[in-house]
Structures are given as C-alpha cells and as structure tokens.
C-alpha cells in the first residue's frame, strides 16, 4: 500500500506487527541514534486515540514535549505525517538535551532575569529552578486566558526558545539575536487577537449547544459534534483562519433523520451569511433549533452503544444508528462491524458488511474500520 511504502521510506526500522496495521514496533532514528518505540492505533485509525510506548531513555528525552506531541497526534492525517513530526521534535529534544551538558554562562541568567523584569513577573505563572522553562499567561480581548510555554537553551538569545501554545494553527516567532521575551509576548498577543473570531464562534457553540465530541475541547480543537436530536448529530470542522465561512459538515445518525438535514444544507448553503454568527447560520440553513443546555441533559443524547453497553470505546463514541425509526439504537462502528461479522446470514461487499440489527432485525450495514 502507498501509506506502508511511505512509512517504510520514512522509518525503515518501524514495522507492522499485525495484518490490520494497528500495531507497529521498531526503532525511530534521529541524529544517528536509534530509539525503541511501539505505536498502537485504534481500529478506526484515529491518531488522536493512538497509544505510544517507548523506552525509558526516549521517554526521558521527550519529557516536556508531551503537549506538542499530543497536538501533532490530533492534527496529523496519518501515521507517516506523525512520524515526520515525531522525528522533528526528537531532533529538537536531543539538541536541547545536549545543551544541558554545556555550562551555561552567567550572562544567560542575568539577561533572562532582566528580560522577565521588563516583561513583568505578574505575567509569569511558572519558571523552573534552572530558568530553562518559563510559562507566561495572557488574556485576549474577550477575557479568555491563555498560556505560552517557552523552553530555552544555553544559546539564548542567539537562538529563539521553543514555544508551545494551545493554538489551532502553527505559531512561529519572528526572531533575531536582539529579540527578547517581550517580543515573544507581543507576538503571542497578536496571534491571540488573530484567532479571536474563531474562538468566539467555538465558545458560542460550546455554551449554547450540547457538544458530544470532543468531551473537553482544547483551544486547538477545530471540530465539534453537535447534538440535533436523539438519533442525529452534525460534526463540523471550522477553518480557524476563516471561521465565518461555511464549515465542513458531516451528519451522523439514522438515515431518516440525517438525510433531510443533508438535503437542507445542500439546498440552502447559498444563503450562508458571513456577517452573522456560525451557529446562527447553521440554525438557518438546517432549519433547526439545537437542543438547549438549559432544558435537556447531555445524557439525553449521549446514548451507550447497544452492543458493548459503553459510551466511549478507545476514545470513540457511538456514531452508527439503526435506520428503523422505532428502534434508533446507536452503536460504535467497530462494535457493529464485529457483530455483523459473527452473523451466519451476513454478507460482504468489498469492505462493507450487511446483516441484521441486534435489536429490531432491520438490515444494517457497516464499513470495516480503517
């Protein structure tokens, strides 16, 4: 397969351990050194739910980079892309680890303390004893609180610190040897304001609708799965750089509930008005009132899977619903596929399997998890 070939070229020492391609083990190489690693993917191949196991030595080197690696897992489309990102982060971590063995000049500390005093200690939420990791806080114009983590090395300010932020877009710092913490902070504030409209839109959705996923959205999360009714929800992906434009929409639920909404969206998308809020646009185009948080509880929509009797399975929630209006039982895709596979009467067509719903005997179909 193309992905397997690309992975082999990128990480020739990382090999699949099963036919499904959900387990990989081997070595990742950086700066001529090899580090043992094991990657376990869920059945739906969603990287955000992957588990990474590594040697204690690699874990020690990557300590302090967990946040950025988690961001990369959420944003990378496939394993190949993530391995490229992992090697980049590992190169940086190794470089900074080597720098720790270099005696840091006294000028480094006096320069940094002076810069913090100019910036203001009231903006500092954390600083380690070695003055190598600093966390700064800021509020945007809407009063939302944000953090930026700076990891410095002995070559500062000749080299910029590594900046870690909870942003939906890549944050890069414009830097010269004459730059300072104040310059980073001002660029951080400017970036916050550039994302104001995006966060306004997402906050309105979080406050006025029932969001099924993600359960606790971070500031970098660009997707929301919004409950519309018992058997239907809409998953939207918002462009953080153009949040007033029509987002990508994907409806989840029984066909009799989801199909009319798809039709309304297709027929009305020309009515999208960038001058009004994203949520109001969705209401107008779909001609729905999203269930109110003041009237209903999340449990009214977050129904357990009818097969495993759990709501979350490896991070996934039930996104398959029986099309029979009188049934409407939700299932995890992986559970439904496994159930249908076990039926003697089921039949296959490529990667789709057909069989009877375990509750009402209506014919159901399920795609093999990728």
Q: Where are the domains of the chain?
A: 1-99, 106-191, 209-286, 320-367
Nearest to 30 by CA among 15, 14, 17, 53: 14
Superfamily of domain 209-286: RWD domain-like (3.10.110.20)
Q: What is the pLDDT of residues 330-361, one digit of tens each?
A: 888 888 888 888 888 888 877 788 888 887 87
Beta bridge pairs of residue 123? none
Topology, domain 1-99: Ubiquitin Conjugating Enzyme (3.10.110)
| pTM of the predicted model as reported, rounded to 2 decimal places | 0.62
Q: What is the pLDDT of residues 256-276, one digit of tens each?
A: 788 899 999 999 999 999 999
Please state the φ and ψ torsions of residue 291, each to the nearest 5 degrees. Answer: -50, 135
Query: For residue 46, how many C-alpha atoms fall within 13 Å in the half-sphere facing its CB?
Result: 12
Nearest to 12 by CA among 34, 31, 43: 34
Q: Return the H-helix or E-strand segment holding 337.
A: helix 333-341
Nearest to 168 by CA among 198, 203, 209: 198
4-8, 100-104, 131-135, 186-190: which has the minimum mean pLDDT? 100-104
- Tell me 292's DSSP state: P
Q: Do domains 209-286 and 320-367 have the same CATH topology?
A: no
Query: Do 181 and 115 meet the contact criterion of CB atoms below 8 Å apart?
Result: yes
Architecture of domain 106-191: Roll (3.10)
- Tell me 77's DSSP state: S
Q: What is the pLDDT of residue 3?
A: 47
Separation between Cα atoms, residue 154 and residue 102, nearest integer Å: 7
Separation between Cα atoms, residue 249 and residue 152, nearest integer Å: 41
User: Is a pLDDT exceeding 50 seen at residue 2?
Assistant: no
Mean pLDDT (whole number) for 22-31: 85
Q: Select from 3.30.365.10, 3.40.1390.10, 3.30.40.10, 3.40.50.2300 the CATH code of 320-367.
A: 3.30.40.10
Q: What is the pLDDT of residues 147-174, one digit of tens each?
A: 999 999 878 888 899 999 999 999 999 9
Q: What is the pLDDT of residues 48-76, one digit of tens each?
A: 888 888 877 788 888 888 888 888 888 88
């Amino acid at each position: 397969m193309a992905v397997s070939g690309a992975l082999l070229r990128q990480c020739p020492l990382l090999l699949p351990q099963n036919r499904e391609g959900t387990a990989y083990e081997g070595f990742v190489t950086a700066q001529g050194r090899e580090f043992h690693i094991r990657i376990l993917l869920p059945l739906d191949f969603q990287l955000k739910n992957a588990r990474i196991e590594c040697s204690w030595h690699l874990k020690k080197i990557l300590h302090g980079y967990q946040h950025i690696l988690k961001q990369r897992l959420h944003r990378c489309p496939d394993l190949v892309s993530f391995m490229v990102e992992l090697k980049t982060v590992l190169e940086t971590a190794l470089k900074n680890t080597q720098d720790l063995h270099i005696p840091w000049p006294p000028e480094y500390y006096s320069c940094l303390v002076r810069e913090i005093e100019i910036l203001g200690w009231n903006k500092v939420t954390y600083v380690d004893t070695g003055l190598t990791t600093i966390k700064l806080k800021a509020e945007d114009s809407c009063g939302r609180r944000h953090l930026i983590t700076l990891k410095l090395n002995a070559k500062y300010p000749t080299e910029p610190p590594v900046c870690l932020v909870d942003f939906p877009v890549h944050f890069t710092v414009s830097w010269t040897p004459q730059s300072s913490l104040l310059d980073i902070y001002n660029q951080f504030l400017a970036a916050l304001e550039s994302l104001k409209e995006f966060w306004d839109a997402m906050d309105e959705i979080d406050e006025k609708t029932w969001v099924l996923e993600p359960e606790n959205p971070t500031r970098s999360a660009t997707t929301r799965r919004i409950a519309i009714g018992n058997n239907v929800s809409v998953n939207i992906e918002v462009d953080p750089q153009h949040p007033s434009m029509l987002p990508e929409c994907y409806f989840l639920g029984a066909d009799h509930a989801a199909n009319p909404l798809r039709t309304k969206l297709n027929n009305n998308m020309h009515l999208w008005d960038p001058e009004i809020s994203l949520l109001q646009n969705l209401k107008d185009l779909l001609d729905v009132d999203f269930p109110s948080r003041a009237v209903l509880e999340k449990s009214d929509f977050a129904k357990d899977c009818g097969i495993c009797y759990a709501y979350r399975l490896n991070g996934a929630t039930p996104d398959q619903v029986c099309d029979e209006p009188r049934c409407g039982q939700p299932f995890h895709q992986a559970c439904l596929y496994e159930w249908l596979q076990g039926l003697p009467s089921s039949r296959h067509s490529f990667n789709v399997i057909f069989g009877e719903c375990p509750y009402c005997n209506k014919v159901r179909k399920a795609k093999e998890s990728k």
